Amino acid sequence: MLRLFRKKRSDVKVVYRYPNEKVAIFIDGGNMFHACNYMQIKINYKKLIDILRKDRWLLRAYFYTGIPSGDLPRDVREQLRKQQGFLNELQNLGIKVKTMPLKKTPEGYIEKGIDILLATDMVSLAFRNAYDTAILVSGDSDYVPVVKEIQELGKRVENASFKRTSSYELRKVCDEFILLDNIKHRFTTPLYPEKIEKPPEVRFIDRIKEFFSKIIKKEKGRKR
């Protein structure tokens, strides 16, 4: 009987699920890089994808990033080598990697066109009815018009991002928002783990010396 008088909570958000829901995940690599660089963390993308997909059928996860090209300085070539190794690891995990050349400026290299490439894929796959829900892993407000267009096609859009690079406008327009800061312990590790100092090892010869030293002390005590 007491249940009849309980007040209903108005702050509980009801999330509706489709039967046999198909999801596609779109990861803005540059946006994630800036957040990781600030927070000094490393992302395990396989774990992140598993968390975001939940128990739903995953069409594919896409990762978008820019890469330097042309005549590169030695330090940039070394960075490119490391980046290529990272991208190869993603592809081995079944993540579809899509790249565009970085634009060189007097201040360095900047990304151009990555957001357009990502948005084009989101809309194109929505038109083809390839997924029911798009999961956009980015905090860039430039994606707001794209999200609205996809919703007009009858699709849902979920947004996942870190607070550092999250846009309020993007969060507001999406059907669901996942703050990655709250669950980062499940898919990240520190970029520079603290080194745990091991106690110095005691050599066997030192143990022998200590053993005989104790015996000598005991013998001296008896003689007194």
Q: What is the pLDDT of residue 212?
A: 66
Structure tokens at 222: 């008896």
What mean pLDDT, rounded, does the chain reach? 84
- Please check whether residue 118 lies inside any domain of the structure: yes
- Please check whether residue 12 lies inside any domain of the structure: no
At residue 15, does pLDDT exceed 80?
Answer: no
The CA-to-CA distance between both ends of the chain, in Å, stands at: 86
Q: What is the pLDDT of residue 138?
A: 96
pLDDT tens digits, 161-205: 999 999 999 999 999 999 999 999 999 999 887 766 666 666 667
Structure tokens at 117: 């490439």
- Please check whether residue 104 lies inside any domain of the structure: yes
Host domain of residue 116: 17-190
Contact 69, 100 (CB under 8 A): no
Question: Any residues with CB less than 8 A from the CB of 63 and at least 6 apart, and which?
Answer: 27, 29, 45, 87, 90, 95, 96, 97, 98
- Please check whether residue 148 lies inside any domain of the structure: yes
- Please check whether residue 1 lies inside any domain of the structure: no
Report the CATH number that the domain containing residue 181 is assigned in CATH: 3.40.50.1010
- Please check whether residue 177 lies inside any domain of the structure: yes
Q: Is the pTM of this model over 0.85?
A: no
State how many domains the chain has. Answer: 1
Contact 161, 137 (CB under 8 A): yes
